[in-house]
Amino acid sequence: MIPKINVDVRSEIGELEGVILHTPGSEIENMTPENAERALYSDILNLNVAKKEYAQLSGVLGKLTNTFQVTDLLTDILKNQKVKETLLNKICRYEEKCSLNRYLTTLDAKELSRQLIEGVIEEKNTLTKYLSKERYSLRPLHNFFFTRDSAISILDNVLIGRMANTVRERESLIMEAIFDYHELFVTKTINPLNSESFTPDTTIEGGDVLIARDDILCIGQGTRTTSQGIDFVLEKLKNQKDKVKHILVQELPYKPESFIHLDMVFTFLDMDTCMVYEPLIMQVNRFETIHIQVENGKVTKICTEENMLTALKKLGMDLNPIYCGGKKDQWIQEREQWHSGANFFAVGPGKVIGYERNTYTIEEMNKNGFEVLKANDIIKGKVNPNDHKKYVITIEGSELPRGGGGARCMTMPVRRKPVNW
């Protein structure tokens, strides 16, 4: 039996001790070209290929740390009748489907878990339903394999994402229930919906929240995370009077859609290294970097910085940038950024996972001392990552990137070892 896990994440790069995943299932196929845009996709995915690629990510992580699947965790908590009733009441109320509650209550935990994720088929038992083109009473959670967004480990708490699109709200409800009720996790959830200052404009997603250090948060403001969402985090930091805290806000373009979150243009790789999409993060442009300092429960400074790296350097984090797509050609940078070329997930300092397809990015990392290891070689035991001090593990990515995310998007860490800064 796995012992209880005290949620504790104080950096992006500390050695990983636990991570929540969701293997893509039938919810990926429960999509058509007609409803793909509503599901936040620009194309439909091939499930068979996506699962093979995802197996490389989950297989590698299974070799390196403790992994937990959303479906298993959800099934566990649904075995408790009170939890089951509470979660179903919330879901049916938020999605205005109270008529489904009686049917859903009759399902056993495993089947209910499946249907809450893969979708509940609409019963065509009235003329209105028969004539409707809608296939599902509860729509499938097409985006749930991006577990990063709906719940965010910050220190010993879990911030529940307030999703920018209603099609993803159920993901947050499920993750909140898992952390509130599963006996495995010791933590406290914080939900913007419960704040007195909450407004409909308050949104925040995990892809926009990076923990640079236990006193520094880097947060993207763009299509998915609003200034009101960041202000909610700011209010929480003002309640923590133990030390000075900092939020570095990076404004993001609303187009193209590949700039959806901060971790699509900026991620941490090591104590002294980061991955950047250079045109946005390093070049002079109209998208501001704003430094907010909190001390003794008050905002003591709010100002504009030259860029994210300059702001971090002033706070004692001097980072060497590695360029997504390399340094030679901005067209290549744009192409590789589009396919999540800046979206890396660290399993330890200088030990990261990313897509193999972004060849110029991987080559640039290799030039900077990262050994390139193939995921399948590690899974098959041909390569031991512990033999290498710094590495990038590459997973195949012909299908998964078309969903709009990379290794960081598909992982929700719950515990990391502290970093000896």
pLDDT tens-place string over residues 68-107: 999 999 999 999 999 999 999 999 999 999 989 999 999 9
Number of neighbours of residue 14 by Cβ within 10 angstroms: 22
186-190 long-range Cβ contacts below 8 angstroms, 24+ apart: 186/4, 186/5, 186/6, 186/7, 187/6, 187/7, 187/153, 187/156, 187/157, 187/158, 188/156, 188/157, 188/158, 189/157, 189/158, 189/159, 189/160, 190/157, 190/158, 190/159, 190/160, 190/236
Top-confidence residue, 133 or 297: 297
Minimum mean pLDDT range among 28-37, 123-132, 179-188, 220-229: 28-37
Q: How far apart are the first and last CA of the chain?
A: 33
Band (pLDDT 50/70/90 cuts) for residue 39 is very low
pLDDT mean over 383-401 = 94
Band (pLDDT 50/70/90 cuts) for residue 134 is confident
Top-confidence residue, 399 or 10: 10
The beta strand positions in 112-198, using DSSP E, are 120-121, 136-138, 151-154, 157-160, 185-186, 188-190
- Structural contact between residues 335 and 256, judged by C-beta atoms closer than 8 angstroms: no
Instruction: Give the Å distances, CA to CA, from 82 to 75, 89, 112, 183.
Output: 14, 11, 14, 15
pLDDT tens track for 234-287: 999 988 877 899 999 999 999 888 899 999 999 999 999 999 999 999 998 999
CA distance 241 to 36: 45
Instruction: Give the Å distances, CA to CA, from 211 to 13, 71, 172, 237, 383.
Output: 9, 27, 20, 13, 30
pLDDT at 328 over 90: no
Would you say domain 5-416 falls under CATH 3.75.10.10? yes
CA distance 356 to 51: 16
pLDDT mean over 30-58 = 75
Percent of all residues in the chain with a pLDDT value above 90, rounded to a whole number: 83
Residues contacting residue 176 through CB under 8 Å, at least 6 positions apart: 151, 160, 189, 191
Mean pLDDT across the chain, nearest whole number? 94
Number of neighbours of residue 28 by Cβ within 10 angstroms: 26
The β-bridge partners of 290 are 249, 304
CA distance 44 to 381: 33
* pLDDT for residue 34: 60
Instruction: Give the Å distances, CA to CA, from 354 to 47, 166, 409.
Output: 20, 29, 11
**Residue 3 burial by Cβ neighbours in a 10 Å radius (0-12, 13-18, 19+):** exposed
The β-bridge partners of 69 are 21
CA distance 211 to 217: 5
What is the Rg, in whole angstroms, of the alpha carbon atoms belonging to the chain?
A: 21
Band (pLDDT 50/70/90 cuts) for residue 31 is low
- Three-class SS state of 278: helix
- Structural contact between residues 401 and 340, judged by C-beta atoms closer than 8 angstroms: yes
**Which pairing describes strands 185-186 and 5-6: parallel, antiparallel, or unpaired?**
parallel
CA distance 418 to 70: 25
